[in-house]
Structure 1
Amino acid sequence: MSSEFSRRQFIRTAALGSVSVALASRLGAQPGKLSQKPNLLVFLPDQLRADIVFGPNTEAVHAPAMQKLASQATIFERAYVTQPICAPSRSSLFSGTWPHTNGCTNNQQSLPLKFKCLPEMLGDSDYRCANIGKWHLGDEFSAQHGFQEWVSIEEAFKSASGHKIQGVTDYTKYLIDSGHKPDHGKFFSRTYSRNLPFELSKAKFLETKTCEFLERNRDRPFIAFVAFIEPHPPYTGPFNDEHALDSITLDQSNADHFGEDMPLHYRLREEVYRKRYDGDAQRYSEIKQKYLGLITEIDRCIANILAKLDALGLSDRTITVLTSDHGDMMSSHGLLGKRFMFDQSASVPYVVRMPGQQNQIRVAQPISHIDFAPTILDLLGKTPDAQCVGKSRAPLVRGQQMPPDPVFVEWAPGKEKINKHTKLAGKDQVKQALLEYTRAVVTGDGWKLCLRDKDKNELYNLRDDPDERHNLYSDASKRDVIAHLTDEIHRWQEQTADSVKV
């Protein structure tokens, strides 16, 4: 499935410019030149894999609202996060800075308050700004970083300034008021909330709060980030049986086993999942079935929010965005979750619908989330803030051409649970592997190079091997390619003051 999709991406690249311009000319009014200040509505589900929702076999997942949105929008087919894990990725999305710059390099760290987020960079008091849902950049309970309104759903991440914040989330209060008793001290576990009916789910709660926000702010410009926790694990929810189990397909790489040419870190992760699920394709299929159900859950909420936007007459002056903080391996290479440089983990859906847009524009060249903040500021009519190190991709949103730039992805170590009794390596080797740093580059002509300071490197030709099943790093005929891409990584590191040696 993903192989066919990726090959078609590259085939389309040559024709992209003329097609995009033709489509853009049908949009009517020039996007961005609005008679009044545009609104911004960003849907930010957690751990949403791009090719599952927007791949060639889209009928496999029941997500009509997201797919309709994409049909009326610019869709970036090869969008990459800055680091494939929650907090670091979000730090770049909101601040326009690299994780190694802002210090938010793993899930245990917060985004320092000295780094401005998008509402602060916008600097326009006419806007009412809300973060509705998961934050994962520090204090989950209090409005901050230029947001005036705040709806909280997660108790797991409590500190933005080095001390614990006391309190409970809005969602916990809602469940208690609905007659439920916390199962985890003063709080509700994620498993508890996932086993509730849809009407009591976190996703539905965020839908309600978002619609209330839209109603209150219908007569003034607004920014709203709607950050669903779904389809992040636990892989269970009210739509577990939405998709027939016999309709679930797994990536071909699910049956692959990593060889010694692959990073020990990845082999250790593979070992964990192979032992947990005994290499049973049926069990992976059951997990994917439930993952798709979680996507359907948020899709229904997105549908209702977009319907509210229409009913209030706001769609024609609202920029609507859908993206995610990282993907999910979801059986590829026998893995689950994020943390990997494979496209299934490091690439995300990225859809931008301009006010009044009716036709789809597809952009096949790779782009980075580091460009998200400057692009959004540009689309809102603002000069990108000096803090932003990326560049505006607004011309691509409007159907114009821009030359492709190399895209960079980084990795820094965090807390990891790995089988301590592995036979893959000794204790010291395992410890070193878990402390590895990675720097990767993806190019417009389809190469991906991953360099590590303490582990094996990787090279993939995404044109011929879109599923990244064949590591070419040891191929002598690719030495010139490796040298060129290594120079690209080192040049980027110098430009961004990245001190990691790879």
Structure 2
Amino acid sequence: MNFNKLLIFNCILLFSVACKQEVEETKKEKPSVAPNVVFVLADQWRAQSIGYQGNKDVITPNLDSLAKESAVFHNAVTVMAVCAPWRGSFISGQYPLTHGVFYNDKPFPTEANTIAKIYKKAGYQTGYIGKWHLNGHKRGEEPFSARNKPVPKERRQGFDYWKVREVTHNYNDSFYFDEENQKQYWEGYDAFSQTDSAISYINKNKDNPFLLVLSWGPPHDPYHTAPEAYKKMYDASKISLRPNVPEAFADSARNVLANYYAHCTALDHSVGELLAAIDEAGIADNTIFVFTSEHGDMLMSKGALKKQRPYDESIKVPLLIRYPDKLGKVAHQIYDPINTPDLLPTLLGLSDLGIPETIEGTDFSKPLIDGDELGNEAALIMLPVPFHEWKFLNGGREFRGVRTKKYTYVKDLLGPWLLYDNELDPYQMHNLVDLPQFTQLKNHLDGVLMAKLKATNDEFLPADKYMTKWKYLYDRNDSIRKENYLELNR
């Protein structure tokens, strides 16, 4: 009897060991589930205009909640603070003078290696909804002529699901083109309808890995076109202003900000709907969710509107990355700067995909996973060619610079132009560049900048050199300038 019991026990033990080995072998053979990527892009939403960054006026409860379970980047810096160049750098991981889109409405290279091509090759479904702004017009065509035309299939850079308009700033009842280049219309405020389309796409693809980019037009001007319900949430007379808004512009600034914030709150509502849909689909833990913007908006700081300038209101954007499976669901505050070309390689790193040699940005996925700072001293900022609202006649100038965690340093073609201590002077009201006590700091930052330019093969030439190299034409009167325009802008 004891012998039989011992025999049975040994058999059970051997069976258990065999089962355990089989389970372990199955785990080894079973590939890890590829994460989904949902990339939400606003246009012209500056970092300073969001609740979790300390703004008491703007209403962004959904983004504030998202920040509590995301990597929060306090110094996300756009490499070039204008629409198409940012987009080219995001989808390629390259700097503007490499991919060639350093001026709006110029064609992004069809043959480029892009985010959708890379993820598609890895077995992902790919979708894009909203503003594109990378097709551009051909040399000699009327400026902006491509904005209302469909994007040919071969120019969609690997995206298959396609609900896209090249560019529009009419956010109410706007049209788009579908996969077959048929014109369709978004009902009402287009960001709401685009979000509904994104939710539909997520539900249809939740059982397979997918990459989805949702690209809204707002809060880019016109500022007054947000839905009325959101505009009624703001009283312009109660809006607080940044100290660097000149008193002469105070009333205008409050009115602009009230309307701008209305767009922000409307988009925040859409973020909430999108996050709820991801939760309901049961894929939140295995989804890399990114919220960011192309660039900021001066919004009357220093008496200016819009972008291209090297100031924080223009170059700093919100950036949140939530990925519970690898990053957990607690806030991770990151103060080291991250630059536009770094976004793609970092997403690839988080997705366990290889980084193609074409990519110039840095993969920061490891410090994110480890809960560390990035170890990155500076982000590059540039304007190779001034154009449109900051063309030469409006004071635009070529510049290169770096934004570190603490400092901003910028030079134009005449030499050092700006130096700010952003911790002591967060509104950048005191330019230190010509003060002798900061010479050592200026020289150090100049060395950091020169190293960045060398690494990216940037010779920092006058604007005309780049326009000639890429066979581009200036739009309308963008090229007009006085011979001494740099000295006049000092």
TM value normalised by structure 2? 0.77
**Are the counterparts in 2 of residues 46 and 324 from structure 1 also a CA contact under 8 Å?**
yes
Q: Which residue of 2 aligns with 1:355?
A: 324
Q: Which residue of 2 aligns with 1:146?
A: 158
Does 1:53 find its partner at 2:25? no
- Looking at structure 1, the residues matched to 31 and 236 of structure 2 have their Cα atoms a distance apart, in angstroms, of 47
**Deviation string for 1:181-219 (max 9, x for gaps)?**
xxxxxxxxxxxxxxxxxx611101101110111121111
Q: Structure 1 residues 314, 455: CA separation in 2 closer, same or farther (over 3 Å shift)?
A: same
Aligned pairs, number:
405
| Mapping 1:240-251, distance limit 5 Å | 240-251=231-242
Moved more, 336-345 or 235-244: 235-244
Q: Structure 1 residues 302, 55: CA separation in 2 closer, same or farther (over 3 Å shift)?
A: closer
Q: Structure 1 residues 240, 174: CA separation in 2 closer, same or farther (over 3 Å shift)?
A: farther
Which is richer in strand?
2
Q: Structure 1 residues 292, 38: CA separation in 2 closer, same or farther (over 3 Å shift)?
A: same
Using the TM superposition, give the Cα deviation of residue 64 of structure 1 relative to its aligned residue in structure 2, in angstroms: 1.2
- Looking at structure 1, the residues matched to 390 and 213 of structure 2 have their Cα atoms a distance apart, in angstroms, of 34
Q: Which residue of 1 aligns with 2:177?
A: 169
Corresponding residue SS for 1:114: coil
| Mapping 1:152-231, distance limit 5 Å | 152-155=164-167, 169=177, 173-175=183-185, 200-231=188-219
Task: Pick the aligned partner of 1:495 from 455, 464, 470.
Answer: 455
| Mapping 1:304-343, distance limit 5 Å | 304-343=273-312
Letter in 2 for 1:201: Y
- Looking at structure 2, the residues matched to 56 and 63 of structure 1 have their Cα atoms a distance apart, in angstroms, of 10
Corresponding residue SS for 1:306: helix
- Looking at structure 2, the residues matched to 288 and 120 of structure 1 have their Cα atoms a distance apart, in angstroms, of 38
- Looking at structure 2, the residues matched to 82 and 477 of structure 1 have their Cα atoms a distance apart, in angstroms, of 29
Q: Structure 1 residues 321, 287: CA separation in 2 closer, same or farther (over 3 Å shift)?
A: same
- Looking at structure 1, the residues matched to 165 and 361 of structure 2 have their Cα atoms a distance apart, in angstroms, of 30
Using the TM superposition, give the Cα deviation of residue 367 of structure 1 relative to its aligned residue in structure 2, in angstroms: 1.7
Corresponding residue SS for 2:162: strand
Q: Which runs of 5+ in 2 are unaligned?
A: 1-29, 137-149, 170-174, 463-490
Using the TM superposition, give the Cα deviation of residue 243 of structure 1 relative to its aligned residue in structure 2, in angstroms: 1.7
Task: Pick the aligned partner of 1:468 from 428, 433, 451.
Answer: 428
Does 1:481 find its partner at 2:472? no
Using the TM superposition, give the Cα deviation of residue 378 of structure 1 relative to its aligned residue in structure 2, in angstroms: 0.4
Q: Which residue of 1 aligns with 2:222?
A: 234
Using the TM superposition, give the Cα deviation of residue 400 of structure 1 relative to its aligned residue in structure 2, in angstroms: 2.6
**Are the counterparts in 1 of residues 135 and 151 from structure 2 also a CA contact under 8 Å?**
no
CA RMSD of aligned residues (A): 2.5
**Deviation string for 1:221-254 (max 9, x for gaps)?**
0000110001001002112222222331111110
**Deviation string for 1:310-365 (max 9, x for gaps)?**
11111121110011100111221122111111111101111100135321110112
**Are the counterparts in 2 of residues 96 and 371 from structure 1 also a CA contact under 8 Å?**
yes
- Looking at structure 2, the residues matched to 309 and 466 of structure 1 have their Cα atoms a distance apart, in angstroms, of 37
Q: Structure 1 residues 155, 353: CA separation in 2 closer, same or farther (over 3 Å shift)?
A: closer
Task: Pick the aligned partner of 1:374 from 345, 349, 352.
Answer: 345
Q: Structure 1 residues 287, 156: CA separation in 2 closer, same or farther (over 3 Å shift)?
A: closer
Does 1:392 find its partner at 2:402? no
Using the TM superposition, give the Cα deviation of residue 461 of structure 1 relative to its aligned residue in structure 2, in angstroms: 1.1
Structure scoring higher RCO (CA < 8 A, sep ≥ 6) equals: 1
- Looking at structure 2, the residues matched to 482 and 414 of structure 1 have their Cα atoms a distance apart, in angstroms, of 25
Corresponding residue SS for 2:329: coil
Q: Which runs of 4+ in 1 moved over 6 A?
A: none
Percent identical: 26
TM value normalised by structure 1? 0.76
